[in-house]
Amino acid sequence: MSMSASTASLMSSSRSKTSIARRRLNRPRLRPHQSRTLLENRRPPVKLSITNLMSAIVAALLAAGLASSAASAADKTELQARFERRYPQLLEYKSQGKIGETTEGTVEAVEPGYLDDQTLKNLIDEENADRRELYRIIAREENTTPAKVAERTARRNFQKARPGEYLKAADGTWRKKT
C-alpha cells in the first residue's frame, strides 16, 4: 500500500505542527530583545511562599533574640555588680532616713535638702539609672513594658523594706515603715 503524495504531505505537516507545539510548551516564550541562549541559561525563578517567607522572618528574629539575650545577660551581670557595690552605701543612707523607695521602683531623697550632699545625689542618680536599664532589659525579655516591671519591683521593695525605712506613697507622701 502506498500513500499518495498529498496524504504523505498532510501527515508530515501534521507531525511537524505537533512537534512544534510540544516544543513551544516546554520552553518560555521569547521576547523580541531576548536571545535563546540567555533565556535557556537563566535560573528558574525562586518561588516565595508565605511559609518560606515566615520561616525566614522567624529565623532572623530568633537569631536577633539570641544575640540580644546574650548581650542582656552580660548587661545584667554588669548591673548586678554595680548594685552590689552600691548596696552598703544605699543601706546606710536608708537607715539614716535620707533616702527611700518610691512606687516607681526608684530611690529618692526624703527631704530636698539632702540633695546638697553630692555623694548622696550621685548615689541616687547612679542607682536609678541602673534600675531603669535593668527594667528595660527585663521588659524586653518578658515582652512587657519597663513601667510594669518597675511597679512590680516597687511592690517587692516595699514588702522587703526594713522597719524605719522611708517609703513614698503614690500620693507623694513619705511614711516610715513600722
Q: Grid coordinates in use for 38?
A: 540567555
User: In Å, what is the CA distance from 178 to each residue of 27, 68, 102, 173?
Assistant: 88, 42, 16, 16
- pLDDT band with cut points at 50, 70 and 90 for residue 116: very high
Task: Report phi then psi at 100, rounded to 5.
Answer: -150, 175
User: Residues 65-96: pLDDT tens digits?
Assistant: 554 565 677 788 999 999 999 999 999 999 99
User: In Å, what is the CA distance from 130 to each residue of 105, 123, 137?
Assistant: 11, 11, 11
Torsion of CA 79, 83, 84, 88, to 10 degrees: 170
Residues 141, 61: Cα–Cα separation, whole Å: 13
Q: Cβ atoms within 10 A of the Cβ of 150, count? A: 22
Q: Which residue has the cell 511614711?
A: 175
Residues 178, 161: Cα–Cα separation, whole Å: 10
Residues 109, 40: Cα–Cα separation, whole Å: 78
Q: Which residue has the cell 503614690?
A: 170
Q: Say what the pLDDT of residue 73 is.
A: 75
CB 110 within 8 A of CB 98: yes
Q: Which residue has the cell 499518495?
A: 4
Helix (H, G, I), strand (E, B) or coil at 174: strand
User: Residues 11-60: pLDDT tens digits?
Assistant: 555 555 555 555 556 666 666 666 555 555 555 555 555 555 555 565 65
Average pLDDT, the chain: 79
- pLDDT band with cut points at 50, 70 and 90 for residue 165: very high
Q: Say what the pLDDT of residue 144 is.
A: 95
- Per-residue pLDDT, averaged over 120-140, amounts to 96
